[in-house]
Amino acid sequence: MARWEAGARLTVLVAVLSPIAVALVLVPFRDDFSNTNAALVLVLVIVSIAAFGSRVAGLLAALSAAASFDFFLTEPYQAFAINDRDDVETTVLLLAVGVGVSEIAAWGRRQDARADREAGYLAGVREAAEAVASRQSSDEVLRVVSDQLSHVLGLRACRFQYGAAGLGQPARLRPDGQVEWKHNVVDVHRDGLPVTTDIELLVENHGRLQGRFLLTAAPDSRPTLAQLQVAVTLAGVVGTVLS
């Protein structure tokens, strides 16, 4: 944790200071090229920080770049004031582009993280299928699937019961991936999985009940619909074993 915090502080420091340093390097040459070109150089700095840092780092770099451009590269120099209308527009565009680039970079990182998670879920399904294909015992398959369900859904506990459904009036994870409780569909994205009751995931084969997994959700567990559908798929794998 301490190492992560130190790394985050260093990233923020680099994000703030890098545009200032680049602007200072450009100061001796500010009479030799247009301010538009100087702004483009600062955009490259923002892009580099946004690509390799966090969303916050990218936004700080954008603010620092706009302030540095104003202070060092526009007249009057060494003052947060701009006399030329074109320089005002360039400063505003520099800030807007920097913010936009930071948001795009953050979105890309979220998509990459999501793809990695989904790849992990599919690996769990494959592991369960391999357990079936290798003709492992039903107890071993149940263990593998229980572990995968706990991982995919963020559970505190997961256990299997043979030949039971509805006992204790738990919530239910339906075949379509929706969670139903007390005849209402739970908004898992908004409210998370129910934590005051177990959630049953029925295991069936060709309509015949084999048993159920009882899922105990961890607080603030908000699996996506794709994760819930992976859980249903895993229950289907168990159904083929117990049939």
Whether residue 176 sits in one domain with residue 79:
no
User: Is residue 170 situated within a structural domain?
Assistant: yes
Whether residue 144 sits in one domain with residue 217:
yes
What pTM was computed for the model? Answer: 0.55
Overall number of domains in the chain: 2
Q: Whole domain around residue 72: which residue ranges?
A: 2-112
Indicate the angle between helix axes 55-73 and 35-52, nearest 10 degrees: 160
pLDDT value at position 120?
61
User: Is residue 127 situated within a structural domain?
Assistant: no
Whether residue 223 sits in one domain with residue 148:
yes
Q: What is the pLDDT of residues 126-142, one digit of tens each?
A: 666 566 555 567 788 88
User: Is residue 130 situated within a structural domain?
Assistant: no
Q: Dihedral, CA atoms, 30, 32, 37, 42, nearest 10 degrees? A: -30
Q: Which of 215, 54, 72 is nearest to 147 (CA)?
A: 215
CATH of the domain at 146: 3.30.450.40
Q: What is the pLDDT of residues 17-55, one digit of tens each?
A: 998 999 999 888 888 878 888 888 888 888 888 877 777
Whether residue 144 sits in one domain with residue 74:
no
Last residue of a domain, one of 96, 112, 128: 112
User: Is residue 118 situated within a structural domain?
Assistant: no
